[in-house]
Chains A and B, each alone.
Chain A
């Protein structure tokens, strides 16, 4: 158990809908990273937050947004969902701002868009 929690574990929804994925970092960690793992795109970095502020951005679509709250949990919002958004979404956390240190991954949220 990495100490990073993600909810829900599974999510099934329809095209055009909006969903929110939640991540709680390890106790004491200030940085949260979001990743998408799909069959065709592989594992891709989406976005990073450090202590409530956006720190780095990867291949995140404009339909997706994220935020980190004062209690350091983070939410990834996916809107106007398309079939291609079906994927496993991971979050990871580190204590410091730079991700070079060990990133502890959560168990992931599996999203299926029908």
Chain B
């Protein structure tokens, strides 16, 4: 069964610093999709970034980028120049190509400190 593990339950960084959130997953599939979702205090779920496993290039969205290591089954999220508005719960998620279920990790609560 596929699993998603986020080993950091909570993190705090100063505003303007760079922070990396870790995510590992387990699958026997070769093609799949990985996502990072952000859930701010409003509880809205917002897609931050997505990566297709067949693409070797790491996805980037403005200040957000990923380090996708397929062999290691690792998918970390880097937030550069962190802002107060980045304070949120961040969920790593996996979806296989054969199965339409999205599996979420337990989340990392990120605090950006002024």
Contact = CB atoms under 8 A, between A and B. Distances in A.
A103 B44 contact: no
Contacts of A44: 104
B96 to A, nearest CB: 10
Given A42-B107, A43-B91, A102 B102 contact: no
- B: interface residue count bin: 20 to 34
Interface residues of A, number: 20
Nearest to A1: B44
A48, A88, A100: most-surrounded residue (chain B CB, <10 A): A100
Interface string A75-97: 00000000000001010100000
Interface in B54-110: 91, 95, 99-107
Of the candidates A55, A102, A103, the one having the most CB atoms from chain B within 10 angstroms of its own CB is A103
Question: Which of B52, B102, B104 has the most A CB atoms < 10 Å from its CB?
Answer: B102
A107 B107 contact: no
A3 to B, nearest CB: 12
Nearest to B33: A100
A105 B101 CA distance: 15
Interface of A: 2, 42-45, 48, 55-56, 58, 88, 90, 92, 98-100, 102-103, 105, 107-108
Given A98-B100, A102-B50, A103-B47, 19 more contacts: A2-B44, A42-B106, A42-B107, A43-B104, A43-B107, A44-B104, A45-B101, A45-B102, A45-B103, A56-B99, A56-B101, A58-B101, A92-B45, A99-B102, A100-B95, A102-B47, A103-B102, A105-B46, A108-B43
27 contacts: A42-B104, A42-B106, A43-B91, A43-B104, A44-B104, A45-B101, A45-B103, A48-B100, A55-B100, A56-B99, A56-B100, A56-B101, A58-B101, A88-B43, A100-B33, A100-B50, A100-B52, A102-B47, A102-B50, A103-B47, A103-B102, A105-B44, A105-B45, A105-B46, A107-B42, A107-B43, A108-B43
